[in-house]
Structure 1
Amino acid sequence: MTAQLMDDEKTTETRAPQNRRRRRTGLEWLALAITVLVAVVMIAPLLLVVLNAVKSPADFSAHGPLGLPTEIYLDGIKTFWNAVDFPRKVWNSLLISSAVAVLGVLVSVLNAYALGIGRVKGRMWVLVAFLLATIVPQEALLYPLYIMFKNVGLYDTIWSVVVVFIVIHGAFGTYLLASVFGAFPKELLEAAALDGASRRQILWKVVVPVCRPTLAVLAVFFFIWTWNEFLIPLSFLVSADNQTVQVGIATLQGERIMNVTTISASALLGIAPTLLFFLVFQRTLTRGITAGAIK
């Protein structure tokens, strides 16, 4: 028993140095300091917006944008909320962004499956065309799209914006997923084919489940990109009932009825849904990025 206790003590002494936390080097401390500094720089504008959104015009005039408010002033938020019919704008943005996220990923999956696994002839040139479509300036699309939507009766409807962003984001998604599907393990495809699965079944029961993390990340990006878009919704959504949050903010600013605190309130309410969405799907983004395309 004594010998066993001595052996246990030696084992503990041997493991003790290994269990000690390794000290950070000077380079690691420098990297940590730079990371904290960058985080502060990125968070500072958001904190400044929150600070001025709950500040009265008198406080802003007396203490400036960096001064602390003497009281919580919510009239700026109420003014913006009622002036632009904010719940309606949020619903429009939510509907457009969700439709683009779902349908954009669906279009990307179908196109990429044909190009990446189906091996369409001239695949490289088709991918180059999709890549070029992602870098075309939106300003160059406005007039042709305006004429087209006028002729088909989609002008000043949310579906005009949905169609445009499905095509734009779908081109990027196709280019991205085509390379992912092109590296898909052939063994899985051959095994599914030997089991009698059709091409449709291979897509939905083999390819999509394996690539689900990548598709989830793509859907989140499509949603955020669409929510933050301004030029195309401004051009095709004329009626106040169809406008998005970003267009509503710009329209109210153009009417010159807002003070600085109301502008800050509009900025805060404009980014709050996106921030909430990001926080909700943060784990999805992390899993999709760390898991990779193919497990």
Structure 2
Amino acid sequence: MRKNLVTGLLVVLAVVTLLPFVLIVLNAIKSPDDYTTRGPLGLPSQVYLRGIVDFWERVDFGEKLFNSTVIAGAVAVLAVVVSILMAYALGIGRIKGRMWIVAVFLLANLMPQEALVYPLYFLAKEVDLYDTKLAVIIIFTAIQSAFGVYLLSSVLSTFPREIIEAARIDGANRWQVLWRVVVPLSWPTLSVLLVFFFIWTWNEFFIPMIMLISNDNQTVPVALGVLQGQRLMDITSQSASALLGIVPAVVFFLIFQRTLTRGIAVGAVK
């Protein structure tokens, strides 16, 4: 009885979660007349893809997709590398003031982006990186790695010392211990961070909106926001833009779903 109740509850939650996505898909493939006649909940009489094509051409969506992929991919990789290097020093190296440093990274995660945007804008202007993808990559590498360091330092603090001592007895130095022992054994956790960092960076809007003002450098969320703010679009075109905005992140998640599930399961077992 309890198992059936839990299953039913999960089914209801899944339906509630998927319903907005289903409505976006239905309205994205409706014509404006079809939407007016049948409403937002009605099934389309035919598949109408002109709204998706018009939106793609209007914002040069291929270019925005490339920008978002480059930024999110670079941030995910760099943030994981920075996180493991710093967490190795904090969790295994046991440097002095470890708890204070971890507390600083925790506070960094609590800092709202609105408080950071002006200093970041000023610094980017000073070093001639304003309105460049590199500036956004550096900013979000620092932001995401703050969370990564906080998480990984806690994980590595419980890393088996016997394995590290055995590697050192075999002649491994600190770098070899990190890359040949710690990283392979911690890969499930690192893969989870990699997926999260990519999706989080992909969905970022506020800082990219401030830092990327050129049309050639804008990301997908910024292009969607700017277009909807500047031009009047019907509801079907808005649904098409929303669909194109979330599909790449969903595809990325589905591709790495097994890696994510395996990483969470291994972390739970540990």
- TM bracket (short chain): over 0.9
The aligned residue for residue 15 of structure 1 is none
Equivalent residues in 2 for 1:1-295 (5 A)?
26-292=1-267
Q: Output the CA distance in 1 between the equivalents of 2:12 and 2:268.
A: 32
Aligned to 1:266, the other structure's residue is in SS state: helix
Aligned to 2:94, the other structure's residue is in SS state: coil
Q: Output the CA distance in 2 between the equivalents of 1:165 and 1:294.
A: 31
CA RMSD of aligned residues (A): 1.0
Letter in 2 for 1:77: I
> Residues 80 and 265 of structure 1 are in contact (CA less than 8 Å); yes or no, is this contact kept in structure 2?
yes
Q: Output the CA distance in 1 between the equivalents of 2:89 and 2:269.
A: 18
Q: Output the CA distance in 2 between the equivalents of 1:176 and 1:254.
A: 38
Letter in 2 for 1:72: V
Letter in 1 for 2:246: I
> Residues 111 and 174 of structure 1 are in contact (CA less than 8 Å); yes or no, is this contact kept in structure 2?
yes
Q: Deviations over 1:42-85 (max 9, x none)?
A: 01100000000000000111111011111111111011101110
Structure 1 unpaired stretches of 5+: 1-25
Q: Deviations over 1:237-283 (max 9, x none)?
A: 00010000000001110122311100000000000000100110000
Q: Output the CA distance in 2 between the equivalents of 1:254 and 1:209.
A: 47
Q: CA deviation at 1:157?
A: 0.3
Please give the TM-score of this superposition, normalised by the length of structure 2: 0.98
Q: CA deviation at 1:120?
A: 0.6
Q: Deviations over 1:77-132 (max 9, x none)?
A: 01110111000000000000000000000000000000001111000000000000
Q: Output the CA distance in 1 between the equivalents of 2:226 and 2:162.
A: 55
Structure 2 unpaired stretches of 5+: none
Please give the TM-score of this superposition, normalised by the length of structure 1: 0.90
How many correspondences in the alignment? 270
Q: Output the CA distance in 1 between the equivalents of 2:268 and 2:130.
A: 38
Structure possessing the higher radius of gyration over alpha carbons: 1
Q: CA deviation at 1:293?
A: 7.6
